[in-house]
Amino acid sequence: MSFNSWSYALLLLVVFFAYWRLPWRGRIWLLLAASYVFYGCWDGRFLALLLTSTTVDFFCGLAIVGERRPVTHVAATAAVPFLWLGGYTLFRQQGAMVEHWILAAAAGFPVFFAVLYQLLWRLPAGRQRRAFLLLSLLTNLGVLGFFKYFNFFAGSALALAEHLGWSPGWLLPHVILPVGISFYTFQSISYAVDIFKGKAQPARDPVVFAAYLSFFPQLVAGPIERPNDLLPQFHRAAAWDTANFHRGLKLILVGLFKKVFVGDNCALVANYAFAPGVNLDAPWAILGSLAFAFQIYGDFSGYTDIARGSARLLGIHLNHNFNFPYFATSPSDFWRRWHITLSSWFRDYVYIPLGGNRGPVARMCFNLWLTMLLAGLWHGANWTFIIWGAYHGALLIFYRLTPGLEKFSQSSGWRAVVAMLAMFAFTLVGWAIFRCATFGAFVQWLGALGKWRAPEEILWWRPAIWVLCHALPLLALQFATWRAQDEVENATWPWSVRGLAYAAMFLAVATSSAGSVAFIYFQF
């Protein structure tokens, strides 16, 4: 169920009207049910994974602050994923089936988890908290690692073995990537870590916690929320606020504009430029990367806006994820503006624990580079993502180590413009790495930069007009909301201008030429 589908509009409409008529407890159940329907529409089997994460994190969160629950409660809750899978298998006769070994694992999980839970309580008091934190982290990272990276690492290891002359002839199982797994596991990790550090309090109601972890607007592609930001909003009934309603609708309209009008239409050009076998020259290589830059920004920030708008209609505030990233003047500025909740997650849970800026310069560089490498790997199991992370890590280090560069990027006037253009050029190279299917394809893209006239049948300047026609309205919107640094913030505009802008955006979305394109970040 994609945000730009009619089924989502219907779901949101039903939830919206029911939500404001229910008392607090009813709202929590409604959100939970809607979230599970939303997630189950992708693939019902993977709800079991979400339920497993929810169970482990709920009990571990409580255990970290020393609250013990009866083992029967633990076992009964841990049996829910198995019950779900069992029911799914019984009632689903065709299509995506649950394999027997997965059913067996789900059946064994309640016993295993209940025994482990009991055993960990026998540890000395000082080590209990750490052990439960570790259990939560290992479960989340294990699930993420297996479902997201098994194919990649096992495939790479086999390829290496064959390259070295050893061919075991193993057939690897094909593991399907559950949608949004990277987002909700990261949210789970921040929940456990923040409780461990004493920054947050655990949820004491399993339904509230399940609704928090699976909150449908941000479940599959963020923003990655921290427990202190989102969880308290589930503990109290939000009061109706017309301003929230207006802002929610505006966020959804702007989000659809960015996704459907800007992102999907720029994708038509980017898909051509990065298609296998296309013979690019330099203008096409640059245009392809430029089109992808607007595609991915429109797609992801559009998604975030719709997520924030949907939540806002329910009186729930989600964090900003973007802040005019292509106007960044340095790599560190870029990461303060692009996918803010992910970059701050890596800063707080990876970079700072590694040592951050403390220690010698070499250590700081290593920390920075490793963090970005992991951030790249987070995006997907592909060498191009790892190289993209390494590239951004190298950029950050380059700016830190080059004397005067950071200062130059913070200056104003023409220097700021130069810094902005330079950073945008670096960003375009990064997007080329990100978009290429293989490293070889990226090398070809780089090679194309040296060819100013390739035997290419399709002229580049015509598609360039198409990209400009879809990117310029977005830039105009950013220009008009520059002061507020928020594309939705138009309170200072005359109401007539606002009305015309809404009509124009609606028409731009409704008459979009591109077919429905899936959100890029759903695959992460």
> Using CB under 8 A as the criterion, which residues of the chain lie in contact with other proteins when the complex forms?
6, 241-243, 245-246, 268-269, 271-272, 275, 277-278, 455, 457-458, 462-463, 465-466, 469, 495-496, 498-500, 502-503, 506-507, 510-511, 513, 515
Known catalytic residue at 379:
yes
Rounded to a whole number of angstroms, the minimum distance from the CB of residue 261 to other proteins is 10
Tokens (6 digits) for 75? 């076992």
Rounded to a whole number of angstroms, the minimum distance from the CB of residue 468 to other proteins is 10
Catalytic residue among 339, 379, 392, 470: 379
Buried b (16+ CB within 10 A) or exposed e, 41-56: ebebbbbbbbbbbbbb
| Count of other CB atoms within 10 angstroms of residue 87 | 11
- Specify the residue, 171 or 458, whose C-beta has the smaller distance to other proteins: 458
- Specify the residue, 412 or 496, whose C-beta has the smaller distance to other proteins: 496
- CB-hemisphere CA count at 13 Å for 166? 6
Q: What is the DSSP secondary structure assignment for residue 205, as one 8-state letter?
A: -
- Dihedral of CA atoms 440, 446, 451, 457 in degrees, nearest 10, equals 60
User: Which element (helix H / strand E) includes 16?
Assistant: helix 6-19
Distance separating alpha carbons of residues 201 and 466, to the nearest angstrom: 51
Residue 320 one-letter amino acid: H
Answer for the pair 181, 148: CB distance below 8 angstroms, yes or no: yes
Rounded to a whole number of angstroms, the minimum distance from the CB of residue 16 to other proteins is 14
Rounded to a whole number of angstroms, the minimum distance from the CB of residue 398 to other proteins is 35
- Specify the residue, 6 or 414, whose C-beta has the smaller distance to other proteins: 6
Distance separating alpha carbons of residues 47 and 36, to the nearest angstrom: 7
Rounded to a whole number of angstroms, the minimum distance from the CB of residue 44 to other proteins is 23
- Specify the residue, 417 or 500, whose C-beta has the smaller distance to other proteins: 500
Per-residue three-class SS string for 65-132: CCCCCCHHHHHHHHCHHHHHHHHHHHHCCCCCCCCHHHHHHHHHHHHHHHHHHHHHHCCCHHHHHHHH
- Specify the residue, 149 or 272, whose C-beta has the smaller distance to other proteins: 272
Q: Is residue 376 classed exposed, middle or buried when 0-12, 13-18 and 19+ CB atoms within 10 A define those classes?
A: buried
Rounded to a whole number of angstroms, the minimum distance from the CB of residue 245 to other proteins is 7
- Specify the residue, 155 or 499, whose C-beta has the smaller distance to other proteins: 499
Measuring CA to CA, which residue among 57, 81, 95 is closest to residue 194? 57
Distance separating alpha carbons of residues 82 and 108, to the nearest angstrom: 9
Supply the residues annotated as catalytic.
Answer: 379
